[in-house]
Structure 1
Amino acid sequence: MSQLVTVTDSTSATTMHRPIRRWVRTINASAESRLGRFLYGAGAVALVFAVWQVLWSLGVLPATALPSAGQMLGALLDLLGSGAFWASVWSTVSIVILGLVVIIVIAAPLSILLGLSRFAEESTWLVVEFLKPIPPVALIPLGLLLWGPTPGMKMVLIVFGAIWPLLTQLVYGVREVNATSLDMARSYHLGWWLTTSRIVIPSMTPFAMTGLRIAAAIALIISIVTEMIGGAAGLGQDIVVAQSAGAIKEMYALIFAAGLLGLLVNTVFKAAEKPLLFWHPSHREEAK
Structure 2
Amino acid sequence: MLAEFFHQLGVGGFWLAVWNTVSVAMLGLLLIVLIASPLALLIGLVRPVRESTWFVLEFLKPIPPVALIPLGLLLWGPSPGMKLFLIVMGAVWPLLTQLIYGLKEVNGISADMARSYRLGWWLTTSRLIVPSILPFALTGMRISASIAVVIAVVTEMIGGAAGLGQNIVVAQSAGALSEMYALILAAGLLGLLINAGFRSAQKPLMFWHPSMRQEGNL
Is TM-score (shorter-chain normalized) higher than 0.5? yes
**Which position in structure 2 is the counterpart of 1:246?**
175
**Which position in structure 1 is the counterpart of 2:162?**
233
1:116 has 2:61 as partner: no
Shift of 1:274: 0.1
**Which position in structure 2 is the counterpart of 1:271?**
200
Amino acid at match of 2:179: E
**Which position in structure 2 is the counterpart of 1:174?**
103
Structure 1, unaligned runs of 5 or more:
1-71
Q: Secondary structure at the match of 1:177?
A: coil
Shift of 1:185: 1.0
Q: Residues of 1 paired with 2:69 and 2:24: CA distance?
A: 16
Cα shift readout 1:126-160 (whole Å, capped 9, x = no counterpart): 00000000000000011000000111111111000
Name the larger-Rg structure: 1
Shift of 1:166: 0.4
1:221 has 2:133 as partner: no
Shift of 1:116: 1.2
Shift of 1:120: 1.0
Cα shift readout 1:144-192 (whole Å, capped 9, x = no counterpart): 0000011111111100000000000000001100111111111111122
**Which position in structure 1 is the counterpart of 2:69?**
140
Shift of 1:111: 0.8
Amino acid at match of 2:26: I
Shift of 1:118: 1.6
User: Which 4+ stretches in 1 moved above 2 angstroms?
Assistant: none
Amino acid at match of 2:164: L
**Which position in structure 2 is the counterpart of 1:84?**
13
Q: Residues of 1 paired with 2:172 and 2:157: CA distance?
A: 11
**Which position in structure 2 is the counterpart of 1:131?**
60
Q: Secondary structure at the match of 1:153?
A: helix
Q: Secondary structure at the match of 1:134?
A: coil
Amino acid at match of 1:153: M
**Which position in structure 2 is the counterpart of 1:94?**
23
**Which position in structure 1 is the counterpart of 2:94?**
165
Q: Residues of 2 paired with 1:273 and 1:249: CA distance?
A: 36
Q: Calculate the TM-score normalised by the size of structure 2.
A: 0.98
Amino acid at match of 1:277: M
**Which position in structure 2 is the counterpart of 1:281?**
210
Q: Residues of 1 paired with 2:3 and 2:148: CA distance?
A: 29
Structure 2, unaligned runs of 5 or more:
none
Shift of 1:196: 1.1
1:262 has 2:191 as partner: yes
**Which position in structure 1 is the counterpart of 2:138?**
209
Which structure has the higher relative contact order (CA within 8 Å, separation 6+)? 2
Amino acid at match of 1:119: P
Instruction: State the identity %.
Output: 69
Q: Secondary structure at the match of 1:189?
A: coil
1:3-14 to structure 2, matched below 5 A, reads none
Q: Calculate the TM-score normalised by the size of structure 1.
A: 0.75
Structural RMSD (CA): 0.6
Shift of 1:198: 1.3
Shift of 1:256: 0.5
